[in-house]
Amino acid sequence: MKEASLVLSIDIGSTAVKVIAMTKEGEIAASESGHYPTSSPYPGWVEQDPESWWEAAAAAIKGCLETVGPSAIGAVSFSGHMSAPVLLDEDGTPVMPSILIADTRSHEESAYLKAHYRGDFLQLTGNEPIDAFTVSKLLWIKRKRPEAMDRACTLLFPKDYIRYKLTGQLGTDQTDAGNSLLYNHGNGEWAMELIRELDLPAHIFPQIHASSDIVGYASQNASIATGLLEGTPIVAGAADMACSQLGTGAVHAGTLAITLSTSAQVVMRVSSISTSGAGQVTYHPSAIPGTLYGMGSVFTGGLGIDWAYRLITGKSRLAAEDYAAINQLCDGMKTIPPGSGNIMFLPFLVGSGTPHFDAADRATWIGLSTGQTPELLMHSVMEGIAFNIRESMEVFQKGGHSIDKVHLGGGGSRNQVWSAMIGDVLGKNLSLLRNRDASAIGAAMLAGVGTGMCSMEDIVSQKLISTSEPAPCSADRHRSYDAIYARYLKAYRALNEWYRNE
């Protein structure tokens, strides 16, 4: 029999599953992906059927194994999108669709929690209760879907559901538990006193495992569905951003990782919760035991680029050739100076994230006139998003965190003009991550730790992370951007007041 030399990582993203087979040196031997639908039956609702994750994951696992063979897999681990509750009945069947992180139907519950329990949540987690965390969603279900809550026997999260389908074992890990806001990082247990105070059913909260623990083995039914060998070790895994922290190398104090996807995330390891950052960035348990990471959320990342291109071209959706056209637009931006000819874009197409978290905020173009080219308009959008990223960095800096290295990943990092611009706006030399599937890579690392293929020390030493040499920022352009950034902050304050008074 072929010796097991690979680990398999299953990344349940918000729109697609990505499965990779990785060597202990961090090389990708095979990959496969699959998509699933998202439903928005009412404004502000964003939900998915957990069974669609399983169907896509099973097919992607089978496709990946066709390349490497099932006997090569030493262990399986997971990454999954955060905060989305999966409530199972006594037969292990979901009682309702999973409410995704972007869903805002629980805004009344969030307002109630903020009014009555803000201090409790800040003391316990360092975070204010907002719609993005699971606790508000659970209270909405209790109020609006009481029959579903009555039927629920177990609360899981997206990656946990796939692990359950592979093993029949129920449970979660500390990173997804933390994103509920009902987890006590100090003792590693559910915050049962607060859970009972909120009148949530205590019995639904499952066992919490360490992210790198082996928690079960592939069952016979899972083997039939996926092609995995029965008995393959299955590791707990972690939430997607906790895995991304590992896969981007943001595991040392002083390393800031920026991921440019539809949204953008700004992540770094923190030694403790900073009261100055409370409500501006969010704090989460790391997959590295006993540690935390902080995250700045930029809701309009690559979304802004797609939106601007569709607006400029009149297209309703983008095809492969459109992304090539965006690259051509960027080639024409290389001579555009900072400030985009005095055009400024405030990048809040879906409200603002860090540091404001204000749903009233809206995207705004300032300085529009005749004769402005598509390149100039797109350049201003990229600058606005870069300024919002800088706001996240400055929250960490004000909290006492020095930033010595910046790693840039995600699909947007392929754009050389935008990457260089971000470095100039931040005043930091940027290193590009060579593998952009950070969450899948992080989950594979956890599988390696679980089976002894690598150690947590290997992860912390960034032995498995490959980056480019740091690209130096332009001191002259950074000085120009400092002045423009100050104007951006003034414009934000004025426009926030305008939108709040609508």
Q: In what order do the strands lie in the sheet with 405-409?
A: 282-285, 292-298, 264-270, 255-260, 405-409, 430-432
More confident residue, 30 or 25: 30
State the Cα–Cα distance between residues 396 and 274, nearest whole angstrom: 9
Tokens 């990344």, residue?
A: 11
Give residue 477's pLDDT: 98
Give residue 411's pLDDT: 87
Give strand ranges (E) for 246-386.
255-260, 264-270, 282-285, 292-298, 344-346, 364-366
What does the pLDDT average to over 263-273?
A: 92
What does the pLDDT average to over 154-173?
A: 98
Asked whether 220 and 227 are in contact (CB, 8 A), the reply is no
More confident residue, 414 or 144: 144
Give residue 502's pLDDT: 62
81-95 per-position pLDDT tens digit: 999 999 999 999 999
What does the pLDDT average to over 414-440?
A: 94
Q: Which two tokens stand for residue 110?
A: 């969030």
Answer yes or no: is pLDDT of 2 > 60. no
Give residue 481's pLDDT: 98
Answer yes or no: is pLDDT of 484 > 90. yes
Answer yes or no: is pLDDT of 69 > 70. yes
The second-level CATH assignment, the architecture, of 6-236 is 2-Layer Sandwich (3.30)
**498: Cβ–Cβ under 8 A, 6 or more apart, which residues?**
none
Give residue 459's pLDDT: 79
Asked whether 473 and 428 are in contact (CB, 8 A), the reply is yes
Give residue 464's pLDDT: 76
Within the chain, which residue ranges are assigned CATH 3.30.420.40?
6-236, 248-502
Most trustworthy range by pLDDT among 21-30, 230-239, 303-312, 446-455: 230-239
- The mean of the pLDDT values for the chain is 94
**63: Cβ–Cβ under 8 A, 6 or more apart, which residues?**
19, 32
297-347 per-position pLDDT tens digit: 999 999 999 999 999 999 988 888 888 899 899 999 999 999 999 999 999
CA-nearest of 351, 354, 345 to 278 is: 354
State the Cα–Cα distance between residues 99 and 105, nearest whole angstrom: 9
Give residue 4's pLDDT: 81
Give residue 252's pLDDT: 87
The H-or-E segment that residue 234 falls in is: strand 233-235
235-260 per-position pLDDT tens digit: 999 999 999 999 999 998 899 999 99
Asked whether 133 and 185 are in contact (CB, 8 A), the reply is no
CA angle, residues 229, 232, 236, in degrees to nearest 5: 140
341-390 per-position pLDDT tens digit: 999 999 999 889 999 988 889 999 999 999 999 999 999 999 999 999 99
pTM of the model: 0.91
CA-nearest of 323, 339, 328 to 372 is: 339
Q: Where does the pLDDT of residue 168 fall: very low under 50, low under 70, confident under 90, or very high at 90 and above? A: very high
Give residue 1's pLDDT: 39
What does the pLDDT average to over 167-183?
A: 98
Q: Where does the pLDDT of residue 274 fall: very low under 50, low under 70, confident under 90, or very high at 90 and above? A: confident
Burial readout 283-307 (b: 16 or more C-beta within 10 A, e: otherwise): bbbbbbeebbbbbbbbbbbbbbbbb
What does the pLDDT average to over 193-206?
A: 98
Give residue 165's pLDDT: 98
State the Cα–Cα distance between residues 120 and 347, nearest whole angstrom: 32
CA-nearest of 157, 185, 152 to 171 is: 157
Pairing of strands 264-270, 292-298: antiparallel
| Ordered DSSP codes for 174-233 | HHHHHTTT-EETTTTEE-HHHHHHTT--GGG---EE-TT-EEEE--HHHHHHH-PPTT-E
The CATH number of 248-502 is 3.30.420.40
